[in-house]
Homo-oligomer: A and B are copies of this chain.
Amino acid sequence: MLPVVTARLTPPPIPRSRSAPSLPRGRGLKRQRHLASCQRMKESWSAFDTFEPHFRPLVVIELAKNTKEETKEWFTQRIVDKKKNGGAQLLVKPLVKEDGGKIDGNQNLYLVGASHLRLLLGAETVGLVKECNDNSMRTFTYSSRNTFKDFAEDNHDFLTMAECQYIIKHELENLRAKDERMIPGYPQAKLYPGKSIMRRLLTSGILLQIFPLHDTEELKKLRYTWYGQVKISYQPLDEIRCYFGETIALYFGFLEYFTFALVPMALIGIPYYVFAWEDYDKYVMFASFNLLWSTVILEVWKRCCAIMTYRWGTLLMKRQFEEPRPGFHGVLGINPVTGKEEPVYASIKRRIRIYLVSLPFVCLCLYFSLYVMMIYFELETWALDFHEENESSYSNLLLFVPSIIYAIVIEMMNRVYRYAAEFLTSWENHRLESSHQNHLILKVLVFNFLNCFASLFYIAFVLFDMKLLRQSLATLLITSQILNQFVEALLPYWLQKRHNTKVKKRVYSVKVDTDLSLFEQVNLEKEMGTYLGTFDDYLELFLQFGYVSLFSCVYPLAAVFAVLNNITEMYSDALKMCRVFKRPFSQPTANIGVWQLAFETMSVISVVTNCALIGLSPQVNALFPDSKTDLILIVVLVEHILLALKFVMAFVIPDKPRDIQIKLARLEFESLEALKQQQMKLAAESLKEETHGEKKKN
C-alpha cells in the first residue's frame, strides 16, 4: 500500500541561486581549492555531464590489445552515459603520454574518474556512513550533506580517495545490459537484460583488468607513519583504512590486537622453556589459563572491532540492502526487500547445491586428504624399517622421500581444492559478496585445518608420541612462518623492485619514484601483482592460532614464536601492501566475518585437545597408578567445566560496548520515528485527497 521510497539518484532539491557558498560554517580549510566545481553545484542537475575541468584519474581500465574500436566506443559510451539512460555517468579518458602521442598504436588503457557531485551521489547509492556534526554516524545522503562533519561543497577530501574508487568500482560493476543481446563486435559474448556488463567483458577476455590508482603522495606519507620510523608504536589504522579501505585495515587491526593478546601467553610460556618445567600442575595451569584467555581475547576483539568499525561507519552499513554481487546471475525479478528490479535466484536452488553437491564434495576431499596422510605414515614407517635393515647413505636419503612426496601432494591437493572450492562457491550463486566469501572461506578453511593438523593429531592421539609431537610442532611452526614471510612479502618485493627498474628503463629514462608521470605510473602499476584479499593472511593467523592453542600444553614456547613472527609479519605485510601489489579496491566491512567463528571454533577444539594431552602426559598418569578410569573421568569433568565456563563467558561479555549499543539503538529509534512521520504524512495526504474528491462529488 505504501509506495516504496526510491529517492536514490532522482534530482535532489537544489536551492535557488545563492550569492555565495554559505554552508560550511568555518569548517573545511581547503575551501578555495576547487571553486569551479562549486560554481557548478548551483547549476541544475540536468547540466551535470561528463565535462569536468579538473579530471582526477581514480581507476584504470585495461582492455585487451586487439579490442575492436566499436566495442571500445560502446563501452566508454555506456560508462559516460546518463544514469537515466542506463549508464554509469562517470568520466573516461584514454591514457596518453604527456606529449600527447600514443605508444603502442592501439589505445587500450582508460582512466576513469567522476565529478565531485557524481561521487557524492554515488556515496549515497553505496550507502556510505559518515560522521555528522553532532558526532553521530549517519548514512550519507546528498540532500543532508550539510549536516556531515567536514563537508563543504568545495572540500574534495570529504570522501577519501579509497571511497571514491570504491564508488566508481561499484558503479562500473552495476552497469547492466539493457536491451543489448551481445557485446558489440563480439557476437559470442551474449548479454541479457540485467547482466553486469563488466562481468561479461571480463569473462570474454575483452576487459583485462580494472584497478584503482595509487596516490603516490599519500602512499609516501602512509609508508612513513606505518613502517618508515624505527620507534615502536601502534599502527596508523585510521590512515590505513583511509588509503586501503576497511577490510585491510581491519586485518591489520586484528593482527595487532592478536599479537598483543598473545604477549601474556608468551610471557608465561618462557619460564617453561627456561627452567624446563615438566610438573603436571604447571602444565595444567598454563593450559587452563590459555584456554580461558583465548575465550576472553576473542570476545574482547568483537568489542574492539565494533568500536573501530563504528568509527569507520561500516558497523552501520546495511549488508542486506547491498546490491547483488557482480557474479550473481538469475532472471530479472523484483527484490522483495527493496522492491527494485534485479536478478533473483531461488534460495532453495542454492541450498540444494550447497547441501547436495558442495557438502558431499568437501567431505570426500577431507576423506581423501586423511587417506593420503595415512599412506604417508605408512611410507614413513616403511622407510624407517628399510633404513634400519640396510643402513646406507642411500637409505638415509630415502628417509626424507615420504616427507617430500607428502609435502608435494599436499601442496597439489591444496591448489586443486582451492580451485574447486572457488568454482563451487561461484556455482552456488550467492547473492551477496559477503555470503560468497563466507562460503568460500569455510570450505577452504576446513580443508586447510585438516591438512595442517591431522598429522599432529595422529602423532598425539594415535601414536601417543609427545616428544615427536613437540618436535613436529616446532618444526612446522617455525618453518611455515619463515617460508611464509619469504614467499609472501620479501620475494615478491624483490621481484617487483627488479621488474620496476626494467619497466622504467623500457618506458622512460630511470627516475626517482616521486617524479613519475601519470603515464609511467599507470604502466608501472598495471604490471604489479594483484592482491587477492585478506584470505591468505587470515588463514596464516588462523593456523598459527591453532599451533599456539591446540597443543599449547605440550609446547608453551609456540606463543613466543607467534609473537615474534607477528611483529615481523606486520612489517612485511605493510611492505607487501605498499610496494608489491596493485592498490586493492577498498571493501567496507563491519567485522572479520566467518574468521571470528573460525577462531572461536578453534578455541573450543583446543579445550578438548589440551585436556586430552594433559590426560595422556606421563606425569599425570603417574598420579593415578591404579586407575586409568578415574584419571579419564577427572579429565573429562575438567574439560566439561572449562567448556561450560567458555560458553558462560561468551554469553556474559556483550559483543558491543555499551556506548556503541546506545548509539545504534538511538539510530534505530530515530529511523523508526522517521518511518512513523512518513506514514503520518502519507495518511494526511490521502485524507486531503479524499476530502478533495468528496467535495468534487458534492
Contact = CB atoms under 8 A, between A and B. Distances in A.
Interface stretch (A90-98, A142-150, A257-265, A420-428): A142-150
A694 B680 CA distance: 33
B669 A338 contact: yes
Nearest to A640: B608
Contacts of A204: none
Q: Is the interface of A mostly helix, strand, loop or mixed?
A: helix
A698 interface: yes
A141 B680 contact: yes
Interface string A677-698: 1111111101110110010001
Of A338, A632, A674, chain B has the most CB atoms within 10 Å of the CB of: A674
Interface residues of A, number: 70
Nearest to A5: B673
Given A134-B1, A677-B678, A683 B145 contact: yes
- Counting from the closest, the 8 A-B pairs by CB-CB distance are A144-B679, A143-B680, A1-B134, A5-B673, A144-B683, A671-B675, A674-B678, A674-B675
Interface of A: 1-2, 4-5, 7, 12-13, 15-16, 18-20, 22-23, 124, 132-134, 136, 138-139, 141, 143-147, 318, 320-321, 336-339, 347, 608, 628-629, 632-633, 636, 640, 658, 662, 665-666, 668-684, 686-688, 690-691, 694, 698
A23 B668 contact: no
A115 to B, nearest CB: 20
A698 B20 CA distance: 11
Nearest to A683: B144
Given A23-B690, A144-B682, A147-B682, 15 more contacts: A1-B133, A1-B147, A5-B677, A13-B684, A15-B684, A20-B694, A143-B683, A146-B683, A320-B668, A336-B662, A337-B662, A338-B669, A608-B640, A670-B675, A674-B677
Contacts of A677: 5, 7, 674, 678
B672 A147 contact: no
A139 B636 contact: no
Of A23, A146, A337, chain B has the most CB atoms within 10 Å of the CB of: A337
B141 A670 contact: no
A670 B676 CA distance: 11
A668 B318 contact: yes
A134 B678 CA distance: 17
Nearest to A651: B597
A157 to B, nearest CB: 21
Contacts of A669: 318, 320-321, 337-338
A674 B5 contact: yes
A271 B59 CA distance: 72
Contact of A632 (B133, B633, B676): B633
Contacts of A134: 1-2
Contact of A694 (B19, B671, B683): B19
5 contacts: A5-B677, A321-B672, A632-B632, A670-B675, A675-B675
